[in-house]
Amino acid sequence: MTTTLEDATTPLAAIGTLIRGARQNMGLTQTQLAERLGTSQSAIARIEQGSQNLSVDMLARINAALDADLLPISTGSPRPTHLRVTGGQRLSGTITVNSSKNAAVALLCASLLNRGRTVLRGVARIVEVDRIVAVLQSIGVQVTWSPDGHDLEIVRPEVLDLTTIDDDAAKRTRSIIMFFGPLLGQESSFDLPYAGGCNLGTRTVEPHMIALRPFGMDVVANAGAYHASVVPDSGEPLSVVLTERGDTVTENAIMAAAGRDGVTTIRNASPNYMVQDLCFYLELLGVEITGIGSTTLVIKGRSRIDADVEYAVSEDPVEAMSLLTAGIVTDSEITVARVPIEFMEIELATLSEMGLQYSLTQEYTATNGRTRLVDITVYPSQLRAPIDKIHPMPFPGLNIDNLPFFAVIAAGASGQTTIHDWVYDNRAIHLTDLTRLGADVRLLDPHRLDISGPTHWSGAEISCPPALRPAVVILLGMMAAKGTSVLRGVDIIARGYEQLADRLIELGAQIETFRD
C-alpha cells in the first residue's frame, strides 16, 4: 500500500511520510538510512510513523542524508527546544559511547598543522564541533562531512585568511584559544577573537599566554580580539613549564612544539584523554613524542608537515559517565559500551565505595589502536554516601567534568555527601536546581555542596542551566523523578552530546521534545 500525504493526520506524520517517500526514492532501507544518521532502524520507523519528535538538527541531517530539502530549515534564531520527561521509568539495553567533544575540537585545531589531508573518523555531530568547523571554513579550510555523517575530511589552503574569520562562531567556543599553538609557527602576526564557552565562572587564559611565550609569541588583548605577534624560531631546544596542568593549555603547547623544527620539553603537562588523542594524531603526522600519558612530554616537531592521514577519535569518558549515571539514578540494569576505562577508573572506584554493583567485560582496543575500552553493566544498587568528600583532580584524578554527575547520584544515596568543585567558580550552583526535583542540596560556598539522600524525587518545570554538564544532570534527575517534568531551553546539551534524548529513549526513557 502506498502512503500519501493525505493519510497523515499530524504534522509529524506528514513529515514522516515525506521522509519515507524520499528514502524509498533513493532505494534505501530504514536500516541503511539509520546507519547514515548514526541512529537505529527503530528510530527511523518511529520517525516515519510520525511518533517521534524531530530536532532541527536531526531534520537537517535527514535532509543531508537523503539529499533532499523536505522542510526548509530557517537559519534565523531557532526557537528554544524543551524536553518533557515522564520520569520513574526503568531503562534497559545497551548504549554506546560516542567520541569525545574535547578530543574532536583539539584535533580540528591541530589539523591546521597539516598541509596534507586529515580525515577524522567517528566525529560526534555536536554543536561545539560545528562551531570550530565554521571557524575553519571561514578562514579558507575545506572541511567536509562524509555522506554517512561520521567522518570529517580537512584540507587547509596553503595560506589561511584570518581576516575573514567567523567571529560569531569563534566567540561562542573557548576552544578557539587552541588556534594559537598551531598558528604561531606559521604566522608572524595575527588576530583571534576572544574565547567564549559555557557559564562556569571566569576561566583564565593566562596559562596559555605563559605557555606560549617561550615559543616567541606575545599576545596583547585589544577590544574584542587578541593580537599575537611571534618572533622567528631559532630551532634551539626549548623547555616549557606549565603553571597549570590544564588540558587545552597542554594541547596548545604540544601543537606549538609539533610545528617547530627542534626538540621541546613540556613539564606539568596534562596526560588527560583529549591530550593523548592529540598526541596519537600528531604521531601519525610524523611528530615524535615521548612521555604520552605522563606529565613530561618531549616533542620533536617539524615546521612543515604534509601527510595524508586518518585518525579515529576515541571515546568520551564524560559521555560514559553521563550514560552510566542514567542507569544508576533510574535504578536500572543497562550496559554502556565502549567506555575508555583508563579515564573512568577513579569514578568507578568511588561509585563502588558508594555501593554500586557493576561488571566489566574484558578490555578491547578502540579504533585508534591505542585507547583501552570496556563495556560496563550497572545493576540496581542500594547506594550510600561516601565517607570522604568527592573532589576532582587533573588526570589521573576524578575528572572535573564527571563531578557534576555525582550530585544526582549522591541525591539517590543514603547519607550526606560533600562535593567539592575547587576548579570552577560557577558550576556547583547550577546543581542546586536538583532541589526543585525534591533533592536536599545545599550550597555551602561557590565550590562546595552538601547533598543528603535518599531523595523522594518529584517532577518539576525547570529552566535548563546555562552549563553543559549541569544541564544533563538536571535531565537525569528528571528521569529519576516519578511524574512529568519539563526542562526548558535545552539547546546547550547539543553542544556536547549527539542526539542524547533520542538515545535515552532507545533505552526506555520517556522524553518528548517540543518548542513553544
Ligand X SMILES: CC(=O)N[C@H]1[C@@H](OP(=O)(O)OP(=O)(O)OC[C@H]2O[C@@H](n3ccc(=O)[nH]c3=O)[C@H](O)[C@@H]2O)O[C@H](CO)[C@@H](O)[C@@H]1O
Ligand Y SMILES: C=C(OP(=O)(O)O)C(=O)O
Q: Which is nearer to ligand Y, 260 or 427 (CB)?
A: 427
The site map against ligand X for 384-403 (x = CB under 6 A) is ----------x-----xx--
* CB 288, CB 77: distance < 8 Å: no
Q: Which grid coordinates are listed for 357?
A: 554493583
Selection from ligand X, ligand Y, none that 469 binds (CB < 5 to 8 A by kind) is ligand Y
Residue 423 interacting entry, from ligand Y, ligand X, none, C-beta within 5 to 8 Å by type: ligand X
Residue whose C-alpha is closest to residue 169's, from 150, 193, 143: 193
Q: Which is nearer to ligand Y, 424 or 457 (CB)?
A: 424
Binding flag, residue 472, ligand X (CB under 6 A): no
Judged by beta carbon distances under 5 to 8 A according to partner kind, the member of ligand X, ligand Y, none in contact with residue 198 is: ligand Y
**36 or 131: CB nearest ligand X:** 131
In this chain, which residue has its C-beta nearest to ligand Y?
Answer: 197
Query: Phi and psi of 476, rounded to 5°?
Result: -65, -35
Distance CA 257, CA 266 (A): 9
Q: Is 198 in the site for ligand Y (CB under 6 A)?
A: yes
Report the alpha-carbon angle 156-162-164, nearest 5. Answer: 100
Q: Looking at 219-227, 239-247, 281-289, 499-507, which segment touches ligand X (CB under 6 A)?
A: 239-247
Q: Is 299 in the site for ligand Y (CB under 6 A)?
A: no
Which DSSP category does 246 fall into? -
Q: Which of the choices ligand Y, ligand X, none does residue 246 contact, using the CB cut-off of 5 to 8 A by kind?
A: ligand X
Number of other CB atoms surrounding residue 250 within 10 Å: 30
Residue number, 122 or 496, with CB nearest to ligand X: 496
- Checking DSSP bridges between strand 461-463 and strand 225-230, what pairing results, if any? unpaired
Helices (H), 335-420: 345-353, 403-411
Site for ligand X in 250-289 (CB under 6 A): 274
Q: Which of 487, 449, 447 is nearest to 471 (CA)?
A: 487
Residue 476 interacting with ligand Y (CB under 6 A): no
Q: Does 174 bind ligand Y (CB under 6 A)?
A: yes
Q: Given candidates 21, 246, 301, 340, which one binds ligand X under the rule CB under 6 A?
A: 246
Q: Which CA distances in Å does 32 have to 28, 41, 68, 70, 148?
A: 6, 8, 16, 18, 10
Which partner from the list ligand X, ligand Y, none does 394 bind, CB cut-off 5 to 8 Å by kind? ligand X
How far is 37 from 170, CA to CA, in rounded Å?
Answer: 27
**CA 360 to CA 374: how far, in whole Å?**
6
Is 171 a binding residue for ligand Y by CB under 6 A? The answer is no
Which residue carries 554538564 as its cell? 469
Binder among 319, 469, 478, 503 for ligand Y (CB under 6 A): 469
Binding segment for ligand X (CB under 6 A), chosen from 59-67, 245-253, 296-304, 361-369, is 245-253
Residues 200-219, interacting with ligand X (CB under 6 A)? 203-204
CB atoms within 10 A of CB 272: 25
Which part of the chain contacts ligand Y (CB under 6 A), choosing from 197-205, 350-358, 411-419, 478-486? 197-205
Site for ligand Y in 349-408 (CB under 6 A): 401
Least CB distance to ligand Y at residue 274 (A):
10
Peptide bond into 394 cis (omega under 30): no
Region label for 408, one of left (φ > 0), alpha (ψ between -120 and 50) or beta (otherwise): alpha
Asked if 305 contacts 264 with a C-beta cutoff of 8 angstroms, the reply is no
Sole binder of ligand Y in the list 80, 116, 149, 197 (CB under 6 A): 197
496 binds, among ligand X, ligand Y, none (CB under 5 to 8 A by kind): ligand Y
- If the CB atoms of residues 315 and 401 are measured against ligand Y, the closer one turns out to be 401
Residue of 418, 429, 344 whose CA lies nearest to 385: 418
Binding site for ligand Y (CB under 6 A): 128, 174, 197-198, 200, 401, 468-469, 496
